[in-house]
Amino acid sequence: MFHARSFSVAAAVGLTTLLGACALQVRSDVNPRQSVATCHSYAWAPEIRDPRARQREEANPLNAERLRAAIDSNLQGRGLRPAAPGAADCMVGFEVGSHRYVDGFMGGPGWGWGVGWGWRRGYAGFGWDEPYVYREGFIAVDLYDAKTHVPLWHAAVTQDIAGLTGSKAEEKINAAVAAIFTKYPT
């Protein structure tokens, strides 16, 4: 017999579990000796480029502008106003990129049964599979005291935007930055 109430409860639990698994993972850190309360205005920190770093194909300057716009919106939503670099209380920096992870090796000796023409045949073998390599994208935002250059706040979210363009990139960037700013210190 079909119970609509039981089905509704099971569907709600399943949907909650699924959405929880898709939640963005944000890591945040605050300088305990400083406060972001001193930040009333901000400017963008100069970009630092490592000359040894090779340009990656996922480095899309349009996504960098989308990221900058999302950070601007969130900072202004918290009452900070943009200012010239020499007049700002705080400096804002961001980074977008990815890390490659290697997750163990699979393989080793094996045995089993197979099927041949008209008769069962056994087999044995030894193999070594490739490691499982995956890429994890991230977006990070940093806030510094403009005068002393002391870091005040750092937050990063696991979000891969490599290869994304247009509205899909904007949607993922806005969601990632909104998640980051849930950890903004008050």
Contacts within 8 Å (CB) and 24+ apart, 62-66: 62/165, 62/169, 63/96, 63/161, 63/164, 63/165, 63/169, 63/173, 64/96, 66/169, 66/170, 66/173, 66/174
Per-residue confidence (pLDDT) for residue 9, from 0 to 100: 43
Which tens digit of pLDDT belongs to each residue from 130-182? 676 766 778 899 999 999 999 999 999 988 777 778 889 899 999 999 999 99
Cβ–Cβ < 8 Å for 82, 110: no
What is residue 166's three-state secondary structure? helix
Return d(Cα 140, Cα 147) in angstroms, integer: 22
Question: For residue 92, is pLDDT > 80?
Answer: yes
- Which DSSP category does 130 fall into? P
Q: Nearest CA to 93 among 137, 145, 141?
A: 141
Which tens digit of pLDDT belongs to each residue from 51-76? 555 455 456 788 889 999 999 999 99
Question: For residue 5, is pLDDT > 80?
Answer: no
Mean pLDDT of 105-114: 52
Return d(Cα 158, Cα 139) in angstroms, integer: 7
- CATH 3.40.190.10, applies to 25-47+54-106+135-183: no
Q: Nearest CA to 121 among 111, 130, 135, 110?
A: 111
Return d(Cα 86, Cα 42) in angstroms, integer: 10
Query: Taking the mean position of all CA atoms in its chain, how far away is CA 148?
Result: 29
